[in-house]
Structure 1
Amino acid sequence: MGPHAADPDNGHMAPRPAGPDECPGDITWRRLDGPEPDLATEISNCIAESDLPLDNCLQALRQSLSLLMFSDYGGAHKGARFDVMSFLVTTPEGLSRFSSGRDRLRQGQLGTERRMSYKALGDKVRLRALPAYLEVADQLTGLLVSFAVDKAGSYRLSEEYQAETAFGPLSPWTPRAFRKLTTIGHLAAIVIEGLRRDGQNLIWITDEDEIAANLKKHTEATKVLGHYFNLYCTGPMGHIRFGTTASDSGDLYIEDLAAVPDLAAGCLNELLTEIFPHPQSSSVSRLFIPPGATGIPVKAGVVTEWLAGSAQPLLKVNVVVHEKASLCSVRRLVVVTRLEDL
């Protein structure tokens, strides 16, 4: 896994992070600085070259002492063609409007006990509350990045398990879980390198699944993910903390933040696998999903309209890594719900 590995809690220490008034003037996506173009560079450039108004988002994110990242994943079921991985990046300061709207929603139609997730939207109460929840999510200041990685080409963004690494031995992992962990590591580090400034801390919360199924796996996953931050991130980083939604205090606040990438990943996985199972061309960059289209579940229609929206301060971008005839391509995938946007 290369010579760059480090324990993220020990290998990324930096001097005191800059305060808001010290935010650097260069407000651009930090592209990967590799000697030769590779798949990671293509992915980073795909985001950088999108038509998103990134300047305000980057400025807000870089003014904070810490970045917050929440992630969730789709595509684990047998019929899925793509592995979908979604990452929400915001800051403590970027939560304020979300928090107030979320509190009103929890005190009203959603209640205080139901966890919002794409799989759980068969529940009528959750489904009725979904449009209001998505409106609240749009009040987050930050970026929601979703990656759909063609399973036929997933080997390009993953590593096979090995017991001995540069950062110490690993206990046995199943091949699938370890490949998933390493793919997440690649993509998360690409996103964070693009958004961050030197000296920022990172607090990362992931869904509880096979990559952090217990304390031992959680500890090892933290070390593996630290390897990828060392690999991709230039300049000093602050502290990195990696946790799961199990850290929710019981008020579902962390769960509600993690539900943002959960809904994105779940919906995109359904669109790409169940509704559009065989995209034939790597040049296809738009999916037209008209409201109320036949065969599209209500929940998918609602989340699709949200993904297609251009509401700020939460920006959204989808990237597809497509494999065809042993060739790999990277493209931005825009979900469109209006004919005039085609």
Structure 2
Amino acid sequence: MLGVAPRFTRNGLGVVLGSVFEGRLERTPCLLTTAPRGRQLLMVCDIGGSQKEQPFETFGFLIFDLDCNPHWLNGQAAFRRNALIQRRRMAFKALNDGLRRRSLVPFLTLAEVLNGVLVTFAVHKVDRPIMGDGGATHEELAPLWKPAVINRLMWVIYLGAFLVSGFSPVGQDVMFIINEDEIAANVPQLTKLTDLFARAVSNQQGPMRGHLRCGTTKSDDGSLALEDLAALPDLTAGAVAEFVAALALKGAGPLSPLLQKLPSGVSWKTRQIIPWALASGGSLERFVCLIDSVPGSQKWRATIPRWFTVPDLIKSGSLLQTA
């Protein structure tokens, strides 16, 4: 299948997100949507922003064609043999030992050979669209999940379905993988997640897809390839949550056009991950989408900022942002 310029749904979140994403990809086309496509789209998701002091919840999605990325799979096997021993897992919260710290930059560098897209949504915890009406949907899901988890689950489903609408061509099979946590911790939850995701994708009213399946990183074949793929949205979700929180609480704000220093207190790992997560122009396209309210209004907006890191004289880094 040949790649074409993506057209995103205008249903649901796509009412606002559709034109924003199409505009971003028109300005900076990504290889995933312009190169020949594979038979199966793999989408891997993870969530960040769980700390109370972080005003944004973050949802990271890695999207690529599984059968078009043999170079990463070969590189991942070599990385596991040479860099990460004893089956250590890369995760934002687990970068607490010397081996993982030394492996972070090589791990991110390896990911750059992927032909895909890594999107991280930063969704304001208060000023954001309401998912569902709290009635029938919550009654259907209450036996399986707590109310706070249901809200997070619905964001995962609707954001994921929106991304499928634009990044998956006609007839392509879709495999959705999420880290095995409170959303898909057991078989009944995973079964319901699959049903909900299939319904959300069909409601986008886009082209017909092939088979749609959902799984968790527990489906890994022993190579830890799924674990390593899931680590990429995990790392960006964790770093972006800390990054935008620092800008909102201690800086001029995540959408300020001013040149500003990265606020003090940002961890070393976020300082390492954020410049990588904002890089553009390679085979793995990376960007962040902020969802919050329009100032002075009850309407919500989506913004894909253009952030640039600018080294300063003491090499601590500044940040230049233009919306």
TM-score, normalised via structure 1 length: 0.82
Matched, 1:223 2:223: no
1:241 aligns with 2:216: no
- 2:256 is aligned, of 280, 284, 301, to 284
Q: 1:156 to 1:77 in 2, by over 3 A?
A: same
Separation in structure 2 between the aligned mates of residue 194 and residue 297 of structure 1, nearest angstrom: 34
> Per-residue deviation at 1:250?
2.6
CA distance, structure 1, for counterparts of residue 93 and residue 216 of structure 2: 19
Say whether residues 1:31 and 2:8 are aligned partners: yes
Structure 2 residue 42 is the aligned partner of structure 1 residue 68: yes
Provide Cα deviations, 1:218-258, integer angstroms capped at 9, x if missing partner.
Answer: 11111111221011141211100100011112321110011
Q: Which residue of 1 aligns with 2:174?
A: 202
Is contact 1:319-1:330 (8 Å) kept? yes
Residues 84-163 of structure 1: matches in 2 within 5 Å? 84-158=58-132, 160=134, 162=136
- Structure 2 counterpart of 1:16: none
Q: CA deviation at 1:341?
A: 6.0
**1:58 and 2:30 matched:** no
Deviations 1:192-227 (A, max 9, x none): 111111111101110112211211111111111122
Instruction: For residues 86-113 of structure 1, give each alpha carbon's deviation from its aligned partner in whole angstroms, at most 9, with x where no partner exists.
Output: 1101112332121222222211122251
Verify the 8 A CA contact 1:147 1:320 in the aligned structure 2. yes
> How many angstroms apart in 2 are the aligned matches of 1:278 and 1:156?
28
Q: AA paired with 2:283?
A: P
Measure the CA separation in 2 of the matches of 1:286 and 1:232.
38
Q: Take 1:130 and 1:40, find their aligned partners in 2: how far apart are those partners?
A: 34
CA distance in 2, matches of 1:124, 1:275: 28
Summarize the alignment of residues 12-51 of structure 1 with structure 2, pairs less than 5 Å apart. Answer: 20=1, 23=2, 27-34=4-11, 39-50=13-24
* Higher mean C-alpha deviation, range 270-279 or range 172-181: 270-279
After TM superposition, give the deviation of residue 296 of structure 1 in Å.
2.7
| Aligned partner of residue 75 in structure 2, secondary structure | helix
Per-residue CA deviation, residues 5-38 of structure 1 (Å, 9 max, x unaligned), is xxxxxxxxxxxxxxx3xx37xx11113245xxx7
Measure the CA separation in 2 of the matches of 1:304 and 1:164: 35
Amino acid at match of 1:69: M
| Matched position secondary structure for 1:58 | helix
1:264 has 2:257 as partner: no
Q: Distance in 2 between matches of 1:244 and 1:161?
A: 28
Whether 2:158 is the aligned partner of 1:183: answer no
Change (3 A) 1:95 1:288: farther
Q: Judge conservation of contact 1:288–1:338 (CA < 8 Å) in 2.
A: no
**CA-to-aligned-CA distance 1:125-167 (integer Å, 9 cap, x gap):** 11111000000011110111111110113443455363698xx
Alpha-carbon spacing, 1:108–1:220, altered in 2? closer, same or farther (3 Å): same
Q: Aligned equivalents of 1:303 and 1:316: distance in 2?
A: 12
Equivalent positions of 1:292-311 (< 5 A) are: 294-311=264-281
What secondary structure, in the 3-state scheme, does the structure 2 residue paired with 1:152 have? Answer: coil
Checking the alignment, whether the CA contact within 8 Å between 1:67 and 1:202 is kept in structure 2 is: yes
SS of residue in 2 equivalent to 1:203: strand
Instruction: Give the whole-Å Cα distance in 2 for the aligned partners of 1:112 and 1:233.
Output: 46
SS in 1 for 2:286: strand
Aligned to 2:185: 213
Letter in 2 for 1:263: L
* Aligned partner (choices 285, 292, 295) of residue 322 of structure 1: 292
> Which ranges of structure 1 fall in alignment gaps of 5 or more residues?
1-19
How big is the shift at 1:295?
A: 3.0
Q: Which moved more, 1:46-55 or 1:299-308?
A: 46-55
CA contact (8 A) 2:40 2:67 kept: no
The change in CA–CA distance for 1:327 and 1:122 in structure 2 (over 3 A counts) is same
Aligned residues of 2:6 and 2:166 also touching (Cα < 8 A): yes
Cα RMSD of the aligned pairs, angstroms, is 2.7
Say if 1:217 and 1:161 are closer, same or farther in 2 by CA, change over 3 A: farther
Distance 1:45 1:257 in 2: 28
- The residue aligned with 2:306 is 334
Contact 2:56 2:244 in 1 (8 A): yes
1:264-304 deviation per Cα after TM superposition (whole angstroms, max 9, x unaligned): 101001112245437776853788666xx743321111101
